[in-house]
């Protein structure tokens, strides 16, 4: 919306792009710190309040929604072996985290970990199917 305004100066575009990138970085940082906190209680919260990062992510996210450029052209490439390797590593990591957090349940935790891996692999399959569609 604001990014396509030709009257806006260089610094306006610069600040808006910084806010959009700040949202991405703060959200990923918050999620990583929250993951660490959930794996080990008080591991992060003894030293740092992660809710401050969540507030930064929320404010910059709202601003980035308003300045989003809808006319941007995105090019998609078919996922290669690198993307599938990264997806496999993430699937196995998420299954390990699910198993670790639910291991007191017994055999059900193994089932949940397997379902987690299947969800990630099916997501990759759907992603690959999206690229194979012929567009008219």
Please enumerate in sequence order all residues whose Cβ is within 8 A of that of 95, keeping only pairs 6 or more positions apart, or say none: 113, 114, 116, 117
Pick from 100, 10, 87, 19: nearest CA to 57: 19
Q: What is the pTM of this model?
A: 0.60
Do 2 and 66 touch, CB atoms closer than 8 A? yes
Tens place of pLDDT per residue across the chain (136 aa)? 555 555 667 777 788 888 888 999 999 999 989 888 888 888 888 998 999 999 999 999 998 888 766 665 656 677 778 878 888 888 888 888 888 888 888 889 999 999 988 888 787 777 665 544 445 4
Q: Taking the alpha carbons of 114, 115, 120, 123 in that order, is the dihedral positive or negative?
A: positive
Burial class (CB in 10 A: 0-12, 13-18, 19+), 49: exposed
């Amino acid at each position: 919306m604001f990014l396509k305004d030709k009257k806006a100066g260089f610094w306006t575009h610069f600040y808006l792009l910084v806010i959009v990138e700040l949202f991405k970085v703060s959200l990923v940082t918050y999620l990583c710190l929250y993951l660490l906190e959930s794996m080990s209680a008080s591991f992060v919260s003894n030293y740092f309040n992660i809710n401050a990062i969540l507030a930064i992510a929320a404010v910059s996210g709202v601003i980035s929604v308003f300045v989003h450029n809808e006319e941007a052209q995105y090019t998609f490439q078919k996922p290669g072996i690198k993307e599938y390797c990264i997806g496999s590593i993430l699937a196995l990591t998420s299954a390990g985290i699910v198993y670790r957090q639910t291991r007191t349940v017994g055999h059900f935790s193994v089932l949940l970990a397997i379902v987690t891996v299947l969800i990630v692999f099916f997501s990759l399959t759907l992603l690959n199917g999206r690229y194979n569609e012929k567009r008219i």
